[in-house]
């Protein structure tokens, strides 16, 4: 790509009648420059529209002040708003964000990680703890500092700013059980290569097992992130001779799809069947009946991930992981099962 000529530090120095060292200082350590000199330089900088060349800067200082984020997809409300907070927080520290998406694919994640590192990312934000051995190797070999969000593991050497998907799903399932449901099904996100989805499934299974009292998990259908997928899975589950009285969903999009499909099929929620979600994004309150779901503190998580990463990059000590608590949002879609 060609690039139009821009003023260099040399041009600024000449126009201001000082050396390039002084220009550099007035940008990076203004307190080390005499006030009158500084003022004059800043005038020249403004007049020339000068901004330092990142390449030269990166090369000379060995830091790029950019950080990379690789998320499954931006076209997903929860990642999008987490990313927004992450970027806002970085921005206050003068750090810029490179973004790429993995499309929930491990190989593609590795490629994107390499690409962002090559393009100068000093550190990375990654989603989830599960990745290819090659990816772990690359991160280790190149000693890339990174923080993991959207999940949390207590006894791990890795750095997390996230929540425990297993625990949160367990709590949601317990809530369903406590309402009196015994025949439960789950519409989960695709668990392959996605530890968040996998742990939500495990959490639900564990809760039902721990609860006992003849509670059963009739079926788990995995579906990709689209309302119609949730609707199709819902139809399939309700067609069973042994239909569930409650369906726990792995995310709000699937749950909303199930609710919309229930309405189209003339089924009452929660009277005929209860439905719960996970994430608490916008549609949880748009859908009718409104969705009982698990709130995930996306914004705080994003901000916190940025802070951890900045700390990791600027200091010697390794900061510690942060676990966020989730919360069950009680709305309309979960109720007691109809008396048989």
Q: Is 256 helix (H, G, I), strand (E, B) or coil?
A: helix
Q: Does 55 bind its own copies (CB under 8 A)?
A: yes
Which of 331, 309, 302, 303 has its CA nearest to residue 78?
A: 302
Size of the site for its own copies (CB under 8 A): 69
d(Cα 64, Cα 274) in Å, to the nearest integer?
51
Which residue number, 237 or 259, has a Cβ lying nearer to its own copies? Answer: 259
Q: Contact with its own copies (CB under 8 A): which of 63, 192, 330, 338?
A: 63
Q: Which residues pair with 292 in a beta bridge?
A: 276
Binding partner selected for residue 83 from its own copies, DNA, none, CB under the kind-specific 5 to 8 Å limit:
its own copies
Binding partner selected for residue 25 from DNA, its own copies, none, CB under the kind-specific 5 to 8 Å limit:
DNA
Q: Specify whether the CB–CB gap between 291 and 307 falls below 8 A.
A: no
Which residue number, 53 or 205, has a Cβ lying nearer to its own copies? Answer: 53
Q: Does 28 bind its own copies (CB under 8 A)?
A: no
Q: Contact with its own copies (CB under 8 A): which of 89, 109, 122, 195?
A: 122
DSSP state letters, 307-326? HHHHHHHHSSSPPPPEEEPP
Which residue number, 79 or 170, has a Cβ lying nearer to its own copies? Answer: 79
Q: Does 143 bind DNA (CB under 7 A)?
A: no
Q: Specify whether the CB–CB gap between 248 and 172 falls below 8 A.
A: yes
Which residue number, 17 or 103, has a Cβ lying nearer to DNA? Answer: 17
Q: Specify whether the CB–CB gap between 38 and 77 falls below 8 A.
A: no
Counting Cα atoms < 13 Å in the Cβ hemisphere of 263 gives 10
Binding partner selected for residue 122 from DNA, its own copies, none, CB under the kind-specific 5 to 8 Å limit:
its own copies
Q: Which residues pair with 96 in a beta bridge?
A: 66
d(Cα 131, Cα 306) in Å, to the nearest integer?
21
Q: What does the chain come to in residues? A: 340
Q: Which residues bind DNA (CB under 7 A)?
A: 5, 8-10, 17-25, 27-28, 32-34, 36-38, 50-53, 55-57, 59-62
Q: Which residues bind its own copies (CB under 8 A)?
A: 1-4, 6, 49, 51-59, 62-66, 73-77, 80-81, 83-84, 87-88, 91, 94-101, 112, 114-120, 122-123, 137-138, 141-144, 227, 253, 256, 260, 263, 282-283, 285-288, 313-314
């Amino acid at each position: 790509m060609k690039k139009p000529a821009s003023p260099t530090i040399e041009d600024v120095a000449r126009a201001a009648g000082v050396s390039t060292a002084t220009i550099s200082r007035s940008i990076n350590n203004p307190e080390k420059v005499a006030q009158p000199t500084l003022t004059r330089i800043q005038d020249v900088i403004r007049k020339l529209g000068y901004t330092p060349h990142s390449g030269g800067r990166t090369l000379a200082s060995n830091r790029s002040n950019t950080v990379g984020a690789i998320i499954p997809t931006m076209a997903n409300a929860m990642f999008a708003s987490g990313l927004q907070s992450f970027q806002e927080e970085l921005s206050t520290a003068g750090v810029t964000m490179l973004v790429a998406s993995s499309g929930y694919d491990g190989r593609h994640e590795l490629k994107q990680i390499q690409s962002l590192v090559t393009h100068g990312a000093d550190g990375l934000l990654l989603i989830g703890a599960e990745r290819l051995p090659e990816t772990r190797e690359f991160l280790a070999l190149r000693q890339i500092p990174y923080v993991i969000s959207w999940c949390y593991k207590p006894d791990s050497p890795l750095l997390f700013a996230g929540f425990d998907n297993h625990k949160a799903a367990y709590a949601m399932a317990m809530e369903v059980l406590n309402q009196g449901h015994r025949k439960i099904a789950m519409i989960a996100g695709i668990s392959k290569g996605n530890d968040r989805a996998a742990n939500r499934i495990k959490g639900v299974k564990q809760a039902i097992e721990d609860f006992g009292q003849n509670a059963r998990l009739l079926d788990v259908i995995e579906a990709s992130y689209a309302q119609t997928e949730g609707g199709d899975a819902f139809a399939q589950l309700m067609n069973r001779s042994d239909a569930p009285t409650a369906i726990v969903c792995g995310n709000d999009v699937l749950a909303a799809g199930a609710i919309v499909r229930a309405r189209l099929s003339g089924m009452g929620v929660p009277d005929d069947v209860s439905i719960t979600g996970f994430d608490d994004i916008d549609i949880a309150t748009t859908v009718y009946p409104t969705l009982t779901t698990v709130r995930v503190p996306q914004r705080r998580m994003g901000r916190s991930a940025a802070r951890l990463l900045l700390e990791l990059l600027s200091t010697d000590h390794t900061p510690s992981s942060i676990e966020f608590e989730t919360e069950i949002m009680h709305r309309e879609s979960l109720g007691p099962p109809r008396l048989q």
